[in-house]
Amino acid sequence: MNNKSLTYQKSGVNIKAADNFVKFISKKSKTGKRGSNSENIGGFGSISDIPNYIKNPKIVACTDGVGTKIEIANILNKFDTIGIDLVAMSVNDLIVQGAKPLLFLDYISINKINLKKLKLIIKGILNGCKQSNCQLVGGETAEMPGTYEKGKFDIAGFAVGVVGKNRILNKSKIKINDLIISIPSSGLHSNGYTLVRYLLNQKKINLKRNKFLKKELLRPTKIYVKELLKLINKDLINGCANITGGGIADNIKRIIPDNLCAEIDLKKIKILKIFNWLKKNGISDEQMLQTFNCGVGFCLIINPKKYKKIIKYFSKEYKPYIIGKISKGKNKVKLHGTVNWF
């Protein structure tokens, strides 16, 4: 074989397609806002300012993916919302410590560059950045033939935020008799999809023919940043938890001081239709609570006197409601009662 015939493109990597995708991202990232970081797209690294109005700024960084929710996107050939999920999974973690998201970077690895698919993913990421008021400043797209099967891909996100030292939410602010309030989720968010896919396979459910599941399983993750930042800036919350993998108990446990206990009344949880459907189709109470948010997307821990002020910052769809309180104890979390399914 003539060595001249050996090219990167023949091995499965299309540099020209990758360059065209970078140009597309750069164009879409230009918001016209002062401080836009679109000029960083295509460079070796991004350069961003730290807001000068924040006193004693501390940097907070998070990274996450969307798990096997991407397999649902592949089955339904719908990729315009999965990028919102990607941003949400990181920025909703940033806000737990009181941080304002500043910038976001993505990593997309794919068997073969498909510009139509990648453009839809990026549009979702830009939508998520808009919802959380942060900038997409860069990322990486890796074409990896032989690593992924045909049509397969994975995505990861990286978010950086900033919080003033005196605004950091930590365990010390949580007190006995504080209320625990739930902010509703938009649905499954991006957790538990391996179990959902297993159920679909076991029940031999044709996802493409099920209108309810087609809508619910790709419903974007709610981004809580704008509402939460308003509450943090007005010193209205003592602590909060993003309810992701591990469910309500495991995630609240992470923010409770050792000498206190979060008591949750399961009967008060407002269950969404998708979780009732999963329960009805054979998933046990224990697995439901350990795997899914069950309708509780985010939890706030607050002084009871501030509850009425807090609910004014939310739309009707995401209006917070009380599900428990903080008491003295060593268990960190106690679940009382049973969930009112159906």
In a domain, 342, yes or no: no
Q: What is the pLDDT along the chain (342 residues), one digit of tens a residue?
A: 555 666 546 555 565 665 665 666 666 665 434 334 555 655 677 788 888 888 899 999 999 999 999 999 999 999 999 999 999 999 999 999 999 999 999 999 999 989 999 999 999 999 999 999 999 998 889 998 888 888 899 999 999 999 999 999 989 999 999 999 999 999 999 999 999 999 999 999 999 999 999 999 999 999 999 999 999 999 999 999 999 999 999 999 999 999 999 999 999 999 999 999 999 999 999 999 999 999 999 999 999 999 999 999 999 999 999 999 999 998 899 999 999 998
d(CA 183, CA 297) in angstroms, rounded, equals 6
Length of the chain: 342
In a domain, 34, yes or no: yes
Residues 200, 159 share a domain: no
Q: Given 121, 143, 167, which residue is the final one in a domain?
A: 167
CB 255 within 8 A of CB 239: yes
110: β partners: 143, 153
Q: Given 139, 167, 195, which residue is the final one in a domain?
A: 167
Edge-to-edge strand list for the sheet holding 179-184: 239-242, 296-302, 179-184, 321-328, 260-265, 332-336
d(CA 213, CA 277) in angstroms, rounded, equals 9
Residues 117, 20 share a domain: yes
Residues 199, 149 share a domain: no
Domain tally, the chain: 2
In a domain, 20, yes or no: yes
Return the amino acid letter for 153: F
Q: What is the pLDDT of residue 277?
A: 98
Q: What is the pLDDT of residue 146?
A: 85
Q: What is the pLDDT of residue 256?
A: 96
Residues 288, 267 share a domain: yes
Residues 213, 139 share a domain: no
DSSP 148: B
In a domain, 58, yes or no: yes
Q: What is the pLDDT of residue 15?
A: 59
d(CA 294, CA 300) in angstroms, rounded, equals 16
Residues 98, 140 share a domain: yes
In a domain, 213, yes or no: yes
Can you give the CATH number for the domain in which 315 is found?
3.90.650.10
Residues 56, 22 share a domain: yes
Q: Given 121, 137, 167, which residue is the final one in a domain?
A: 167
Both tokens assigned to 40: 């960083």
In a domain, 278, yes or no: yes
Q: Residue 207 belongs to what domain range?
A: 171-336
Residues 141, 11 share a domain: yes
Residues 117, 198 share a domain: no
The pTM assigned to this predicted structure is 0.89
- The CA-atom distances, in angstroms, between 117 and each of 80, 88, 120, 152, 253 are 8, 20, 5, 11, 39
d(CA 61, CA 48) in angstroms, rounded, equals 14
In a domain, 124, yes or no: yes
Backbone CA torsion sign across 88, 90, 96, 98: negative
Can you give the CATH number for the domain in which 69 is found?
3.30.1330.10
d(CA 189, CA 204) in angstroms, rounded, equals 23
Residues 99, 64 share a domain: yes
Residues 186, 157 share a domain: no
Q: What is the pLDDT of residue 32?
A: 37
Residues 84, 191 share a domain: no
In a domain, 23, yes or no: yes
